[in-house]
Structure 1
Amino acid sequence: MISPDFVFISTYRAIIRALSPPGAKAKLSILIFHRVLAEPDLLQTDLIYAQKFADIIDLFRKIFDILPLSEAIERLRSGTLPARAGCITFDDGYADNLTVATPILKHYGLPATVFVATDYLNGGRMFNDTIIEAARRAPLGRYELSQLGLGLADQELMDLSSRVALIKHILPKVKYLSVTARAQAVDAIVARLKVDIADLPRDLMLTTEMLQALHQAGVEIGAHTRRHPILAGLSDYEAEQEIAEGKHWLEECLKTEIRVFAYPNGKPGVDYSPRDADLAKKLGFIGAVSTAWGAASRKTDPYQLPRFSPWTHNSWGFTMQLSRNLMHQ
């Protein structure tokens, strides 16, 4: 008897092949992840954890032909992509990309690319994680955040849901500040939450040794600037320095050419501009990825490749979302 799973996969592979045929009319579906936790985190329910990641990757590999990103970009340009072409990427440079995600990828024999913001390695911490971990540890009570001059409202921490709400309230307010203003604002918020910043975790990001181990495991490393700024808010000089210095640091660390780049935050026209795409080309990358959803075709600017982040993890919903993503113009 033929199993329902076999019928589902076979049918869906045929559908995806029709939407993404081989050759000049091929499309490239690039998945984007950030962290892969060992276990679920009730404070960050949007973050994927090991078993969910394994389920998604297993389904993705059964339907798509998964390629290294650099190879996929070159084959997209030359019109030689296979049918149902896909890639797997991660942003920022989290330690769990090595400790949790890589063993799952190796189990299935799949390539992936990790884009690294270099200044946060070796005990650093992304600004969003500082806010999240401070909210996790803040004592119960009312916090007068409105006095900080950041457009924040006062917040009351009573339970888990109020901590989640606090995080969602703060992050959009600080994300688009300059790197210096962002750091100052985060420090002020942490202090107002009555948390000692020295008590926050310093092992969330990769170390140099872990980055080298990731590279040695066959994972492609891409650049993601030094400090994860909103490039559109920087001067021409500042933007070029952020991109170039991140690329140079990685190349010195890994003794290899860094060929691909991801725009921080990644919304076209909001977080980066055509100027930044021109900079990526000027600095020697073969391609760059955004966070605009959709699938790339041969007509797509290789320095503005779209990526997709599936938000439904059941088989039917996931495959339907991938289909919609392929059809998105």
Structure 2
Amino acid sequence: MKQARGSRLLVLGWHNVEGTWCFPADRGAGLRGLARQLRVLKRLTTVVPLGAALCDLAAGRPLPPRATAITFDDGYRDNLTLAAPLLREWGLPATCFLVPGLLDRTARAWWEELASAVANARAREITWRGRTYLVRTPAERGAAAGALSAALKGLDRADRDAAVDELTGLLEPTQDYRVEEHFMDWDEARRLRDSMEIGSHSLHHAILSRESDEQQLTDLATARSQLQERLDVDAPVLAYPNGTTADYTAGTVSAARRAGHSHAVTTLRGFNEAHTPRYEVRRTVMSPERGLTDLRKLLRDAVRRDGVGR
């Protein structure tokens, strides 16, 4: 099958808009940066709905020049309160990948919980699994949070939750983290549905490759079923939590397919073409507070590939 000119898709992914414990930023920087990013995408690319574009790509149908899809992960509340109004203002489609366990408070946003415990630690240093982490200064706390988060990504969900509890005990934070501090609930997700397509980001935001094949299938099938029943959406597209090659396996791909997903997106950078595997869609993660810095090279590559004509 000959690929039509313009049949390339750039998928971009954001998480939060404004700063959080895990993704700190100056107040207002995220909203200003995202507004600049969306304005430039509107002017220089053709923003397309992700699900339809992936189906067109897989079928060999041409996409518009410099086709770009916008996505958000996890269900941060400011996707509803800040991102959605910007998308409506610019008339841009987007997809939000939601975690049912976060919506109903049965899952832990462990990355935010850990970062909050480190940022608010009474302890000045801790020793965990044979390594000492200094948490006296902002720089030390940032380094410790990054190193601990990376270590926890290597654990399955049960061991990770236990590790977060253990680390919280060692850090002795001055305040507890509550998932409602940053994340939407089901009522807010229903409101978001009016502004964005809905996809699945798994049931509990487990790193899927760390779970058994049976657990993965149960997780993905349950997550999609809950999104369908409670939001009246099909949720055909899945986003793998974390999304690197270490975070999904052939068993994950099989589970995604058996759960009824038509495609799954990763966090592997690059453009998508007709031959891109349907369950390994390339996606570039963005930081809103960086404004246009992260977009410049991507857009230069898009123009070089698809030409300057519209």
Matched, 1:36 2:17: yes
Match of 2:213 in 1: 236
Please identify, of 242-251 and 162-171, the stretch whose mean Cα deviation from structure 2 is larger: 162-171
* Counterpart-to-counterpart distance in 1, 2:169 and 2:196: 38
Change (3 A) 1:209 1:43: closer
What SS does the aligned partner of 1:26 have? Answer: coil
Match of 1:245 in 2: 222
After superposition, residues 68-79 of structure 1 pair within 5 angstroms as: 68-78=49-59, 79=61
What SS does the aligned partner of 1:176 have? Answer: coil
Match of 2:132 in 1: 153
Match of 2:112 in 1: 129
Matched, 1:166 2:149: no
Change (3 A) 1:277 1:199: closer
Change (3 A) 1:244 1:256: same
Please identify, of 85-94 and 200-209, the stretch whose mean Cα deviation from structure 2 is larger: 200-209
Kept in 2: contact 1:43–1:136 (CA 8 A):
no
Shift of 1:134: 1.3
Match of 1:254 in 2: 231
Change (3 A) 1:223 1:310: closer
Shift of 1:282: 2.5
Q: TM-score, normalised by structure 2?
A: 0.87
Residue 262 of structure 2 is aligned with which of 275, 282, 286?
286
Change (3 A) 1:277 1:206: same
Residue 272 of structure 1 is aligned with which of 234, 245, 248?
248
Residue 108 of structure 1 is aligned with which of 90, 103, 112?
90
* Counterpart-to-counterpart distance in 1, 2:208 and 2:9: 25
Higher RCO by CA contacts (8 Å cutoff, separation 6 or greater): 2
Residue 173 of structure 2 is aligned with which of 186, 195, 217?
195
Shift of 1:203: 2.5
| Structure 2 residue identity aligned to 1:55 | R
Which of these two proteins has the greater Rg computed from alpha carbons?
A: 1
Residue 178 of structure 1 is aligned with which of 156, 170, 176?
156
* Counterpart-to-counterpart distance in 1, 2:150 and 2:294: 28
Q: TM-score, normalised by structure 1?
A: 0.83
Which segments of 5 or more consecutive residues in structure 1 lack a partner in the other structure?
A: 1-21
Kept in 2: contact 1:125–1:202 (CA 8 A):
no
Which segments of 5 or more consecutive residues in structure 2 lack a partner in the other structure?
A: 306-310
Shift of 1:119: 0.9
Identity of aligned residues (%): 27
